[in-house]
Chains A and B, each alone.
Chain A
Amino acid sequence: MVNTQPCVSGSTIPLLPHEEYERRQRRAQSSHPELWCVLDAVKDPEIPVISIWELGVLQNIEREGETVVVTITPTYSGCPAMDVIREEIATALTTAGYGQHRVLTQLSPAWSSTWMDDDARARLQAYGIAAPVAGDVRSDPACPHCGSVEVRSISEFGSTACKALFQCLDCREPFDYFKSF
């Protein structure tokens, strides 16, 4: 279940992080929803089943006269996918007829894997990548192939900075884990 209420301190109900609530509000209240739809086509180049909106990288879209101003935030500071994402945003906007655009990078609030919603997490699992375990960075994920919780960590770092490598002790398959960050 996705809550759309901001954090209330002292509450025990899992709620959206405040900055994620605000990000969703920016989209919900945007006066140009069609631009957000255009950028829904831009996927994470390394995880093509998740869009940059779902990943939490897309922070805002505004218009300054004829210019479309897109604000993104990097997942990891050295993430090489960011350059590709910037190019793909430009291509998507140009193709949709928005010739003038600018992509800004914003560092704060620092990106968090907790911004991903349940739907995106389910698609990540179906793609064979274990979704981030909420809360503790030390908790182990369940195997995305068979669901077993008997897993072992192979490496803290996987094929990209955002992933770690695990192996399932039941079905024996290795798998990527999208780290809680």
Chain B
Amino acid sequence: MDNDLTQATADYAVRLGDDALILGHRLSEWCSRGPFMEEDLALTNVALDYIGRARMFLGYAAQLRGGECTEDTLAYQRDCREFTNLLINELPRGDFAFTMVRQYLLDEHSLLFLDQLGRSSDSELAAIAGKAIKESRYHQRRSREWMLRLGDGTEESQRRLQNALDDLWGYTPELFLMDELETALYELGIAVDRAALQAPWQAAVHSVFSETAVTVPSGGWEVVGGRTGYHTEHLGHLLSDLQFVQRAYPGCQW
């Protein structure tokens, strides 16, 4: 690989690692706060899968970047503007319905995305995707079930489900946005064509919506910016927690 391509691939791996790290952190916030014990275990296990996924992507990016870069410097020593995760991952965990609706929307996306990334000409990205998709199948099975349970539940669970979907909907278009970097890597067979995932994703989520009482939001608004480092005000607060120890005791190890 020539140097420009190596760096572009590293940037791509950082994006995917940031998505996993930030969502994994949000899920980990449920530890000891789950609605009941089994659900507490499930949320934190899914969080762990995402942290593992982040380590694989960021570790690979660090290896490509070389020098002093490690998965830890990427996770703990960058500031908001350097994070490139999609905005939907950083939104506060909200109530249980919000967490599960976000998870469901992202799980359906992950299944499509990782299936494609598994065919990447970059063998390391393909291997990570091959590993992660097996976990996402379990995640989706559970989040889909929660969509149906909340949708079939009480007036309150339906209201919370609907509110969550309304609040999240405008963050979903960013999942399908291609930019110069990803387009160039896609043309080389490395990256996934996100735009092509939109139709099958819509079909999957609409089929679940149709089994519940929710009304599909009409859209009309969208927020983007994560890939260029323009984040919501929530990311800084998240990082102050995630990076606390390294900021208080730089370089600390245990």
Contacts and interface: CB of A to CB of B under 8 A. Distances in A.
Interface string B31-56: 00000001101100111111111011
The main secondary structure of chain A at its interface with chain B is: loop
The main secondary structure of chain B at its interface with chain A is: helix
B91 to A, nearest CB: 22
Interface residues of B, number: 30
24 contacts: A77-B52, A77-B56, A77-B128, A77-B131, A77-B132, A78-B47, A78-B49, A78-B52, A79-B48, A107-B56, A107-B131, A108-B126, A108-B131, A110-B131, A137-B137, A137-B138, A154-B38, A155-B41, A156-B138, A156-B142, A157-B41, A157-B46, A161-B49, A179-B138
Contacts of A137: 137-138, 141
Contacts of A154: 38
Interface of B: 24, 38-39, 41-42, 45-53, 55-56, 123-124, 126-128, 130-132, 134-135, 137-138, 141-142
Contacts of B130: 107-110
Given A108-B126, A108-B127, A137-B137, A78 B41 contact: no
Nearest to B41: A157
A157 to B, nearest CB: 4
B42 A107 contact: no
Interface of A: 74, 76-80, 106-111, 137, 154-161, 165, 179, 181
A143 B131 CA distance: 29
Contacts of B52: 74, 76-79
Given A107-B127, A110-B134, A155-B39, A77 B45 contact: no
Nearest to B45: A157
Nearest to A153: B38
A76 B128 contact: no
Contacts of A74: 52, 131
A1 B118 CA distance: 33
B51 A78 contact: yes
Nearest to A107: B127
Contacts of B132: 77
A165 B131 contact: no
Contacts of A181: 134, 138
A154 B37 CA distance: 10
Contact of B55 (A77, A159, A161): A77
Could you say which of A79, A80, A107, A160 has the most chain B C-beta atoms within 10 Å of its C-beta?
A107
A58 B92 CA distance: 39
Given A77-B135, A108-B126, A179-B138, A155 B38 contact: yes
B118 to A, nearest CB: 9
A108 B53 CA distance: 14
Contacts of A77: 49, 52-53, 55-56, 128, 131-132, 135
A151 to B, nearest CB: 15
Contacts of A156: 42, 138, 141-142
A158 B48 CA distance: 13
Given A78-B49, A78-B51, A155-B39, 8 more contacts: A76-B48, A76-B52, A78-B52, A107-B124, A108-B131, A109-B130, A110-B134, A155-B38
A157 B131 contact: no
A76 B135 contact: yes
A158 to B, nearest CB: 7
A76 to B, nearest CB: 6
